[in-house]
Amino acid sequence: MRPVGFAIAGALCLWALAGCAVRETRTDVSPVVHFPGDDGTIELLTEAQRPIHIGDRRGLFEGVPPELLSDDPAGAYRWMFELNELPARAFFFMKFDNVAHLHAGCATIVTLNGGDVMRLFENPVARPGYRGPMTRSVAVDRQLFRQGENTLTIVQNPCTSGQRTLRVRNDAVLRAVRLELRYTEAVMPEPPA
């Protein structure tokens, strides 16, 4: 192959690699390893802390308080926490702003050690745009937990319609994230005799 051929092939390879790198999702990681409090609550993000903006920062953000937005949001955020024993029951709680075009199927996905905890806005819905702060909570399958280190990740997926990825904003602003762990099963009282 001639030198010009090598140069063109090299440029094509670099162009292809750059295209892949642009589509890769960056995950920011909390610098702190969390532990449950005495009440079994793991506060991963409190409303007193700065909110975490995840997504791609595309589009306009009418109605969104500018102090909630980042100039360079990651596509995901990850927290680590340690458990000495597995809970009998657990609940996940999240307060957030979704600033995606909700009709476009822009899923916000929460995973624990790789297993699904919650999927929000995965299916297209009718009302697009900013909807203000929302809260969601869900019971967590106790089989997703491990003794020792655990990882909770929240990912803001690209917006899709069928097989097509849409070029619209798909962002969420996380305001509060916590796990509530219960180490004993609730006992039902005996009925009166």
Does domain 26-182 bear CATH number 2.60.40? no
* Residue for token pair 């996940």: 92
Q: What is the pLDDT of residue 169?
A: 59
CA 166-118-169 angle, to 5 degrees, is: 25
Q: Which of 140, 139, 67 is nearest to 97 (CA)?
A: 67
Residues 38-65: tens digit of each pLDDT: 899 999 999 999 888 887 665 555 566 6
Indicate the domain borders of the chain.
26-182
Query: 125 by DSSP, 3-state: which?
Result: coil
- Predicted TM-score of the model (pTM): 0.73
Residues 99-149: tens digit of each pLDDT: 655 545 667 889 999 999 988 766 555 455 556 688 889 999 999 999 999
DSSP tag of 143: G
Q: Are strands 172-182 and 115-120 parallel, antiparallel or unpaired?
A: unpaired
Q: How far apart are the first and last CA of the chain?
A: 93
Cα 186 to chain centroid distance, Å, stands at 30
